[in-house]
Amino acid sequence: MADLHRRDQHADTATEPEDRAASVVDPTGAVDAHDPKQWAAGLPAVANSFRHGIEQMGLPRTARVFGRLNQDQGFDCPSCAWPDPEADHRHVAEFCESGAKAVAWEATKRRVDREFFAKHSVADLDEQSEWWLGQQGRLTEPMHLRAGGTHYEPVSWDEANAIMAGHLRGLPSPDDAVFYTSGRTSNEAAFLYQLMVRAYGTNNLPDCSNMCHESSGTAMSEQIGIGKGAVTLESLERAELIVIAGQNPGTNAPRMLTHLERAKQNGAVIVAVNPLPEAGLIRFKNPQTPRGLVGPGTALADDHLQIRLGGDHALFRAVGHLLVQAELAAPGSVVDRAFVEAHTAGYDDYVEAVREIDWDATELATGLQRVEIEALAKRFTDSSATVVCWAMGLTQHVHAVMTIQEIVNVLLLQGNIGKDGAGPCPVRGHSNVQGDRTMGIWEQMPQPFLDALGSEFGFTPPTKHGVDATATVQRLRDKSVRVFFGMGGNFAMATPDTPVVHAGLRACDLTVHVSTKLNRSHTVTGTEALILPCLGRTDRDATARGDQGVTVEDSQGQVHLSQGRLEPPSQDCRSEVAIVAGLAHHLVPGVGTVDWRGLADDNDRIRDHISRVVPHFGDYNDRVREPGGFLLPHKPRDRREFDTPSGKAEFLAGSVPPLELPEGRLLLQTIRSHDQFNTTVYGHADRYRGISGNRRVVLVNPDDLHRLGFHAGQVVDVVSEFEGVDRRAEGFTLVAYPTAADCAAAYYPETNVLMSADHVALRSNTPVAKALVVRFEAR
Ligand SMILES: Nc1nc2c(c(=O)[nH]1)N[C@H]1C(S)=C(S)[C@@H](COP(=O)(O)OP(=O)(O)OC[C@H]3O[C@@H](n4cnc5c(=O)[nH]c(N)nc54)[C@H](O)[C@@H]3O)O[C@H]1N2
Ligand SMILES: Nc1nc2c(c(=O)[nH]1)N[C@H]1C(S)=C(S)[C@@H](COP(=O)(O)OP(=O)(O)OC[C@H]3O[C@@H](n4cnc5c(=O)[nH]c(N)nc54)[C@H](O)[C@@H]3O)O[C@H]1N2
Ligand SMILES: [Mo]
């Protein structure tokens, strides 16, 4: 681990950024930077959970809500997609600080009502930070911004539906509208939503997954025939080696640490591959156990490879090379021959591709020394059951797909798939992002799904592929989107090229957002705009047919029920299901045989439809009521069967050119702090990294700062350079931080202005959010 001298740094000044709409930070605070922490969770995590809870909900509600989180019969945490343990393994408080913040944020007692909107014009709201918008409370009734209006005004659901249907029906083509989904939407709502959109006549169904794990899906589908992870929780705990590359679980999947701790207690070796020394990968103090709260905790990572941004392709290629070399020297000693022969294709070509590698180029690309890579290869050869976990640190690069395929190649060599304690483990982001995809939220759903959908409901779904998130941004740039509909999320901030996206949204005839809380996407409006307030995971959904539960699918393919129990923020909030059914009834009443009204308040009926359309969902209603729900089949994991053209798992070895870094430039990654959920800013303390007060900071290696002629605490503009075009993020304070050489890190979404809609991962089309080439300019 890099041991770099650091001192406390304070900003000279905290400057106000120019483009207010593109900024989200409260510009007031000065930066306070201390040494990064050496462990995660423990007492501070518990204290912070309760502080956030009590601030938003008061004590009694906090106690009630935290007690139901992730419990059987309770509600699923709306934060990340990490699975819940089996029912008999759950703790009294099966949650983490991040989940507690997400729940407190949703279950807050604060309200945004019609008086609020009468008081604040849209222009005023647009001046506010993302943090401020999120602090105002839950949305309570549908609101409408008229053409030429300055304020949102109350509107009835019927009027809102008529406005939307009027606009949508008036478009020259259904493809002039775009229907985005963020990954919190339940299976039932997602299924109904895609049905409505396809009945309307388009496949324009971009989702947050396009910006998230699309690269994982693309890579693994080609190689093993399925884009989902192949490791269950129990299996992870039995791994001998766990490599965690490009993921910060301490903040973004904190409950994963409990399972890493168990794996560790079972003797696993853990290796972190990361440009940053993330606290959650170093040591974990389990807040669920008394000893974890007060004791020294459990050391997690045995090795930390402080890789250069984007170096993972070269790293895993080199590991493959070393494994193959060892095998050639002593046949049968490393490679699982029986597995390779029975279940894989392309082995000989792969061996040829990795037989020779250029070590100088490898060391340059990875920023690692050969001995470190050899040590990692030895970890692989010493292990008979290896899991590789990854997240955005791998998926959001130009060569993300090839990088993930290189990892799968290495796993295939040793038969590390379809085996206990082994396999590829992409860790998903949003709590139901995987389920939404299973339910048909995809701009290019395969034909058998469309056929099944059409025959269930008696219509012909469109077959032309729709736009993904990147293509949507490009169409916004061309001002060719007329209606933008957001099922959750914050498209205005989560996407690249922020000013371009904003201009494109403002050029729409109508923008609509189904949301729980205010965000930037409500202040960057089309000529007309609607805000439709929905129930969240924690809210009770009482309909004429009784209390409705929803279902979600976690990162490992477990599908289970979630039952909200809190009284909703107002009688005028509707479930996402009811919102979709209401609009569809106005928009596509005559298409097919769908009984929109009958589906609006009866999730069992929706699940019956799903059971006939979506593979592996037979007896959905019964199976999901079993304790813990049910696990979706996964052929490679369960049976070592692969739905690829060859019927085998494919070794695929592409070549990847090195990342060019011109003189005086750095590679910038955009990341999450410990105090945010994507574009939702909970607060200004990135506790584990020791940084608080202001989010407009850039973390840079002190040697690089010195070499480039800057100093810690200095305020600079960050300028990205993509294809000769400068993009500028103004007023960032430099923080000396032990990141890998040539690398820098800053928070998302403040830095999305630096990203280009044309800079994407090859084949998955995911916007590149890691390893942007940047320079600093003194102010
Ligand atoms: N509390 C909280 N939880 C969340 C979220 C949140 O915002 N807040 N977001 C949710 C969502 S949607 C997602 S997708 C996940 C995201 O979870 P993560 O992927 O953990 O999120 P990031 O903050 O993008 O962190 C990327 C990590 O990869 C490392 N990294 C960056 N580039 C490279 C590289 O080139 N190579 C390697 N080896 N490492 C690299 C970074 O240093 C960092 O540790 O979390 C989910 N959970
Ligand atoms: N620079 C950069 N950009 C990135 C990333 C990055 O690492 N760097 N990561 C990308 C990734 S991985 C992702 S997943 C995307 C995330 O992109 P999105 O999913 O679009 O963004 P979120 O910030 O998660 O959306 C938050 C909003 O969702 C609404 N919401 C919350 N709960 C609910 C609910 O239950 N129902 C409904 N209808 N609405 C709800 C709230 O109004 C809230 O303001 O961002 C991507 N953008
Ligand atoms: Mo994500």
Which residues are CB-contacts of 516 (< 8 A; sequence separation ≥ 6)? 106, 138, 139, 488, 533, 534, 535, 536
How far is the centre of ligand 2, averaged over its atoms, from the C-alpha of 417 (Å)?
32
| 684 pLDDT more than 50 | yes
How far is the centre of ligand 1, averaged over its atoms, from the C-alpha of 250 (Å)?
10
Helix/strand number for the chain, H first, E second: 32, 35
Enter the tokens of residue 81: 């997609």
Predicted local distance difference test score (pLDDT) of residue 61: 84
The pLDDT confidence band at residue 80, using thresholds 50, 70 and 90, is: confident
* Test site for ligand 2: of 101, 136, 184, most ligand atoms within 8 A of the Cβ: 184
How far is the centre of ligand 3, averaged over its atoms, from the C-alpha of 229 (Å)?
15
Region 769-777: what's the mean pLDDT? 98
- pLDDT averaged over the chain? 93
Predicted local distance difference test score (pLDDT) of residue 52: 87
The separation between the first and the last C-alpha atoms of the chain, rounded to the nearest angstrom, is 33
> pLDDT for 226-276, tens place per residue?
999 999 999 999 999 999 999 999 999 999 999 999 999 999 999 999 999
Q: Which ligand is nearest to the CA of 208?
A: 2
* Test site for ligand 2: of 678, 752, 768, most ligand atoms within 8 A of the Cβ: 678
Alpha helices in 305-399 (DSSP H): 312-329, 337-343, 347-355, 359-366, 370-382, 392-395
Q: What CATH code is assigned to 221-427?
A: 3.40.228.10
| Amino acid letter for position 430 | H
Q: Is the CB of 680 under 6 A from ligand 2?
A: yes
Of 546, 497, 505, 504, residue with least CA distance to 525: 505
Angstrom CA distances, 258 to 28, 95, 96, 323, 420, stand at 37, 11, 10, 31, 19
**Angle value at C-alpha 299, between 388 and 306, nearest 5 degrees:** 55
Ranges of CATH 3.40.228.10 domains, the chain: 221-427
**Nearest atom of ligand 1 to the alpha carbon of 677:** 7
Predicted local distance difference test score (pLDDT) of residue 95: 66
Instruction: Answer for the pair 115, 574: CB distance below 8 angstroms, yes or no.
Output: no
Q: Is the CB of 184 under 6 A from ligand 1?
A: no
**Nearest atom of ligand 2 to the alpha carbon of 519:** 44
Q: Is the CB of 678 under 6 A from ligand 1?
A: yes
**Nearest atom of ligand 1 to the alpha carbon of 278:** 44
**Nearest atom of ligand 1 to the alpha carbon of 253:** 47
CA distance 302 to 698: 28
Q: Is the CB of 676 under 6 A from ligand 1?
A: yes
SS (H, E, C) 153-169: EECCHHHHHHHHHHHHH
What does pTM read for this prediction? 0.95
Predicted local distance difference test score (pLDDT) of residue 491: 98
Ranges of CATH 3.40.50.740 domains, the chain: 110-210+433-631
Which residues are CB-contacts of 66 (< 8 A; sequence separation ≥ 6)? 49, 53, 93, 95, 100, 103
**Nearest atom of ligand 2 to the alpha carbon of 183:** 19
Instruction: Answer for the pair 508, 501: CB distance below 8 angstroms, yes or no.
Output: no
CA distance 177 to 170: 11
Q: How many of the other CB atoms lie within 10 Å of CB of 450?
A: 18
Nearest CA to ligand 1 atom 24: 671
Ranges of CATH 2.40.40.20 domains, the chain: 666-778
DSSP state letter for 675: T
Q: Which ligand is nearest to the CA of 211?
A: 2
Instruction: Answer for the pair 498, 525: CB distance below 8 angstroms, yes or no.
Output: no
How far is the centre of ligand 3, averaged over its atoms, from the C-alpha of 169 (Å)?
32
Nearest CA to ligand 1 atom 2: 252
Enter the tokens of residue 656: 């990847």
> pLDDT for 367-397, tens place per residue?
999 999 999 999 999 999 999 999 999 999 9
Q: What CATH code is assigned to 666-778?
A: 2.40.40.20
- In degrees rounded to 5, what are phi and psi of residue 112? -105, 110
Alpha-carbon Rg for the chain in angstroms: 25
The pLDDT confidence band at residue 5, using thresholds 50, 70 and 90, is: very low
Q: Is the CB of 85 under 6 A from ligand 2?
A: no
Nearest CA to ligand 1 atom 32: 393
What is the widest separation between alpha-carbon atoms in the chain? 77
> 């994991």: which residue's tokens?
637
Strand duo 241-245 + 386-390: pairing: parallel
Predicted local distance difference test score (pLDDT) of residue 293: 75
Report the topology of domain 110-210+433-631.
Answer: Rossmann fold (3.40.50)
